Structure formats: structure tokens, C-alpha cells
Amino acid sequence: MSEGNCAKIHEATVAGLTFSSDFDSGNASCIDYSAESNSYNIWIASDCEGTQYENQFKTWFHFSVKGFTTDQKVTFCIRSGDDRTNELKWSYCYKYPVGCVVYFAMCYPLGYGEMQLYLAELESVCSKPTKVNQQLPSLSGISLLPTDTHQLHLGQDALLSRELLARSICGRRIDIITVFSSAKGEHPAKCEQSATADLTKPVVLLTARVHPGETPGQFALLGALNFALSDDPRAVALRHNYDIKFIPMINPDGVYMGNYRTNSQGVNLNRQVNLSQPAHQIIVTDVILNPGQSTKQWVGAVVSLAKGYAEKGLLKLYADMHGHANKTGCFLFGNALKTPFHSAWNRAFARLMNINSPYFDLDKYVNEEYILEIGDTKEEGEVDSGIDRSKTKEGCGRVAIYKITGLTHSYTLECNYARPGNTKSIPPPTDPTGMTSLLNNGCLSNKTALAGGFEPHHWAQ
């Protein structure tokens, strides 16, 4: 298995501290120390640094430090280039027992190996013959996360199927998970489901981690996966009416290498669909950089899967989940559709998300990006009649799925790395009368602010 990144630090001891980034999703290429300011400069690697595919993307960082003494105080400075205006600097005081290894990252990390362990644990839980009061794995069990207060229990009818959709260039698994409902009284062993089987129920398709450094989208997808398996009455209804498909990690090589935006060959996989062709001729751009290795192998697998469901009239919703560095909160990008009816129907899903998630921000961030034709000169950020007409990201999943299938509900879910927008309190799914009380504007009452910033269990909701 070729790993591709030559820039990771195995172990480097500088001024008494030992640094490393030689692990899953690690990214640091050089360390230096200033005795005058008692500060360590950590130079982060570009995507694919040290290979022929090195490119300009460098934002994600993840490294470990050991060798601290009790109450030792230092300053870390993340350097991504020669321009000091882009520095990220913070002071740190060591408060753990001597000998511990401390990890630092741009955002809560989740590596390829951790994802594989988590999916294996889900498989194990869902395969148990007795499901009464069976707790689903907590997000706090992976990636050294804080305590997860959002605990869910497995639904008695819930079943899970895990399959290999494709393999990456470096041979890593690209899994597809199907969540569905067993027939009443039927043993789980007789209820096998396949991603490619002849389906009868409508399909919801959710994907994440096409950009390796956008971990908030990863936790949002895992939250959706756990919810779909849970005994929540909304999840039960969802399973009874839909087969829910998850592709948790589209770009496992980029994740493992510690890249921010690209795969092991420096390719942004979210721009690999050629939309200049008529809809029936659209194919995935075939970027072949080494013999027998092509982005088409796995990006094409996702697009072909969605197209196959759509041709059978089964695909009802697609959402690709990302992290966002600029706009606050969690919000959707949708496509501008051809009729007011379809546009209203498109926005209706966003309102449902607003009703059911305490961290989804409808008021400020439900914007539709127009599908701009080739040659359109609209500038990014131009606003027309209150609708964000940001220049279309040609070839991204949301646009590609819409162009290929005509799917009304094709979205990008964006989750800010740290800063929430407006939040609100969500009551239980039903009150004692069986009804949920709404205000006239469709939002639930008791809006509050999330003071401490986002954590994984917030994105998961």
C-alpha cells in the first residue's frame, strides 16, 4: 500500500519536546524553537508534500507532543507559509501526568483507522439477536472526544448492512452502509440488504469526507447514521419508508495522509464530474496519473450508484456533508430549480431540518446556488432578490447529482468548524397529545446560544 506523503515527522525532539505526525491523519513537516519567546513553530505540510502531486492546499494540522514537565507553559505557532498574517498562535499549559502524549489538531480529528473500528463496532451491535435497550456506540469512543451527552439506543427493527463499494488508489476501503427495517417477526439473518440489490423502497443517499480536513461533516454523517439506527420514533418511520445509504469516507487516502482537500494524487475529488456534456452523456473526469489508477474508480462508483437509483425512480434525497470555515452555524446549499413548485419543495426539507435539529440555522443560511451555464460571469457572492448566487462549484456532488438525475432534493450540508449561529431548544419528538408544538414561523421556541462552540455531538444532531 503506497502512502504517498513523505513530509510526516516520525519523531523530532526540539528543545526538550518530541513532536510526531507519523500517524493516521497526522500533518506536520517541520519544527523550530524560539528561546526568546519560548515558542515552537510548527510548519504544516501541503497536500501530498514531498511527492510529485504536491499542491497548494494547506490548512489541516494534526500532530502529537510528548516530554512535557508538570505545569510547563509553551506557545505553539502554526505556520502554513512565509506570510506571518496567516499564523495561528496559542499558549498551552501542561496539566496531565508526566509522560502523556498530547495531540493537537485544527478540529476534532477522525482518521481512517478510527472509522473502520467504529463501523465494525456498529456491525457488532446491530448483529446481536437481542436489541432491547442496546445502546449505540458513542462518538466519545473514537478520536479521543469529549463526553458524548447525545446517547441513542438501537431500534428493535433496525438492521445494518456494510459493503465494499470500491477501493482507493492506496487500497483502502470505501464502505457503503445501508440502514433498513426488518420485516415484522423476521430474523435479521434473513433480511440481508445490498447496495446494488433490486430495491423497492425509496433511497436516501448521504456522503462525507470527500475533503479530508472537513471533519465536522464526518461527525454530522455519523450522527445521521446513529439516528437512522435508533429507536427514536422519527427514525422508525424513516426506516419503514426508506432505505438509507451512507458512504462515510469517500477519500480515505487523503484522510490518512493528513491532507486538507485532495486525494493521494493531489486531485480534488469534489470537482471530478464533467458537466459540459448532455445529461445522458455526463461521465466522471478520468484523471489517470499512474497506470491502472484512476479517480474514476471511486468517484464514478458514487455517481453511478446515485444514477442507478434515480433511473429506477428510487433516489429521493442526496446530501454531501462538509466543514465550513467562513460562515457560522450549520446550513444547506441547494440548487436553483426551474419552477417555483420545485424550489418551494426544495426549501421544505430545510424547514424540516430546522424543526428537528437544535443547531441547524434556517434564518441566515438556507441559500440556493444557481446552476450557472458555461460562460456565466456572475461573481462569487453576488446576491439577486435575496438568493445567494455564488458562482457554481462545477463538478461538485450536489450539482453533479442534480444535473445527472434532476433530483429536487440534492444538497450540500455545511457545518462550521467552531462557531454556531442561532440555536434553539428542541422538545421531544411528540408531546403527551402526540403533537409537536410549533410557532407560526415553523421554528421551535426557546432559542439559546451555544457558548462553548461546536463539539462532535452537536454536529451529530
Catalytic residue annotation:
414
Please choose, from the candidates 298, 263, 266, the residue with its C-alpha nearest in 3D space to the C-alpha of residue 284. Answer: 298
State the cell numbers at 301: 462508483
Residue 162, exposed/middle/buried by CB under 10 A (0-12, 13-18, 19+)? middle
CB 261 within 8 A of CB 272: no
**Running DSSP on this structure, what letter comes out for residue 122?**
H
Using the structure block, give the residue that is written with the C-alpha cell 434553539: 424
How far is Cα 165 from Cα 254, in angstroms, rounded to an integer? 17
CB atoms inside a 10 Å sphere around CB 236 = 16
User: In this structure, are strands 203-208 and 243-247 parallel, antiparallel, or unpaired?
Assistant: parallel
CB 313 within 8 A of CB 198: no
Phi, psi of 307 (to 5 degrees): -65, -40
Which among 356, 353, 332, 328 has a CA at the least distance from the CA of 420? 328
The answer to whether 455 and 419 are in contact (CB under 8 A) is: no
Dihedral sign for Cα atoms in the order 324, 459, 117, 304: negative
C-alpha 123/C-alpha 142 separation (Å) is 15
Residue 319, all three cell numbers: 446530501
Determine the Cα angle at 110 with ends 105 and 112, to 5°: 125
Query: Cell triple for residue 172?
Result: 483502502
> Within its chain, how far is the Cα of 35 from the centroid?
40
312 contact partners, CB below 8 Å, separation of at least 6 = 199
Return the SS3 of 443: coil
From first CA to last CA, the distance across the chain in angstroms is 36
